[in-house]
Amino acid sequence: MAIIDVRKLRKEFNGLVAVDDISFSVGKGEIFGLLGPNGAGKTTIISVLATILKPTECEAKVCGYDVCSEPYDIRGCIGIVFQDPSLDEKLTARENLDFHARMYGMSSKKREDKIEEVLEMVSLQDRADSLVETFSGGMRRRLEIARGLMHYPKVLFLDEPTLGLDPQTRHVIWKYIVELKKKYGVTVILTTHYMEEADKLCDRIAIMDNGKIIALDTPEELKNSLGGDLIVLKGKDVQKLKSKLKKFATKIREFNSSLSLSVKDAEKSLPKIMRAVGGDKIDSIKMQKPTLDDVFLHYTGRRIREEKADKMSKFRARRMARMRR
């Protein structure tokens, strides 16, 4: 059953198209990723689905409610962690959570129990009564995730949840996100421009560019769509190897003294290839899995990382650096 159903979503800012007739649906309990460079329209989609932004053309449903006509019903059933910090630094962690719970109309008993529960989940119990201004960037992020869970949301939006965090903290956040799905069965929509993050966390990924979804599938299928894995081997007699190995590869290419084979499943093909090669001499053999970056390259002709940081994201990075310290 789809908990989010988007049909031909369109958003223009003064005639500039940010999201161009996008359609997709997300199943209950899924971790769904929106992957793409800055300015692809990821945050715009999240803002529209969270009813913060009114779309130009709207036919989108979240939790069965319409984003344009039933925003308050949607707000009650979603949680959101914004890209930029959104905590009150002059309040303690507990007060921030309590504020949130009260705004969402939770009773006092429920509030207390849930605050303990989410604090434990993100391991912040010890710091519950410290002012947020004393927290590190990672701790703030964890607190924001905990806050997003306070009111038992069915859908949790995470907008660039690990932006500006160090690799170690990033792994901790990933752990929490995976736990969310296991423990609460929450549907998670996350945006990111980190390949590894999308690959590791998401059940399905929509790759976005210029306001359009250019590919949508499981990470595995997206990578398989490129024709499988690569096996590169070096040997003395390349021609002889080539004739022997032809039948294992969907595509075989020869350059210098190496052979590059495209295979469906490198792990399973490797032993067969080794057997077929038999006594012929091989100097080296290398197995390579395609990455989502390769997928993005395949569809757009450029790499996500090549994207120059635009003015806005530079400003944002500076701001994050200042605020997260």
Return residues touching other proteins (CB under 8 A). 50-53, 72-73, 75-76, 80, 82, 84-91, 95, 99-100, 102-105, 147, 323
Question: In whole angstroms, how close is the CB of 194 to other proteins at the nearest point?
Answer: 21
Residue 105 or 278 having the CB closest to other proteins: 105
Question: In whole angstroms, how close is the CB of 105 to other proteins at the nearest point?
Answer: 5
Kindly list the distances between the CA atom of residue 197 and the CA atoms of 31, 191, 312, in Å, as whole numbers in the listed order: 12, 10, 22
Give the span between the Cα atoms of 159 and 174, in whole angstroms: 13
Question: In whole angstroms, how close is the CB of 7 to other proteins at the nearest point?
Answer: 23
Separate counts of helices (H) and strands (E) for the chain: 12, 14
Question: In whole angstroms, how close is the CB of 87 to other proteins at the nearest point?
Answer: 7
Question: In whole angstroms, how close is the CB of 57 to other proteins at the nearest point?
Answer: 18
Which tokens belong to 222? 């997206």
Question: In whole angstroms, how close is the CB of 49 to other proteins at the nearest point?
Answer: 11
Residue 51 or 192 having the CB closest to other proteins: 51
Question: In whole angstroms, how close is the CB of 108 to other proteins at the nearest point?
Answer: 10
The 8 Å CB, 24+ separation contacts for 59-66 are 59/6, 59/7, 59/8, 59/9, 60/4, 60/5, 60/6, 60/7, 60/9, 61/4, 61/5, 61/6, 62/3, 62/4, 62/155, 63/3, 63/4, 63/154, 63/155, 64/3
Residue 81 or 245 having the CB closest to other proteins: 81
Phi, psi torsion values for 207, nearest 5 degrees: -90, 125
Residue 32 or 157 having the CB closest to other proteins: 157
Give the span between the Cα atoms of 89 and 127, in whole angstroms: 13
Amino acid letter for position 13: F
Phi, psi torsion values for 202, nearest 5 degrees: -85, 140
Residue 42 or 100 having the CB closest to other proteins: 100
Burial code of 199-220, b = ≥16 C-beta within 10 A, e = fewer?
bebbebbbbbbebbbbbbeebe
Residue 95 or 203 having the CB closest to other proteins: 95
Residue 142 or 223 having the CB closest to other proteins: 142
Q: What is the CA radius of gyration of the chain?
A: 23
Helix (H) or strand (E) segment spanning residue 293: helix 292-300
Residue 86 or 250 having the CB closest to other proteins: 86
Pairing of strands 282-288, 229-235: antiparallel
The residues that bridge with 25 in the sheet, in sequence order, are 5
Give the span between the Cα atoms of 101 and 76, in whole angstroms: 11
Helix (H) or strand (E) segment spanning residue 159: strand 155-159
Question: In whole angstroms, how close is the CB of 321 to other proteins at the nearest point?
Answer: 15
Question: In whole angstroms, how close is the CB of 95 to other proteins at the nearest point?
Answer: 7
Residue 78 or 206 having the CB closest to other proteins: 78
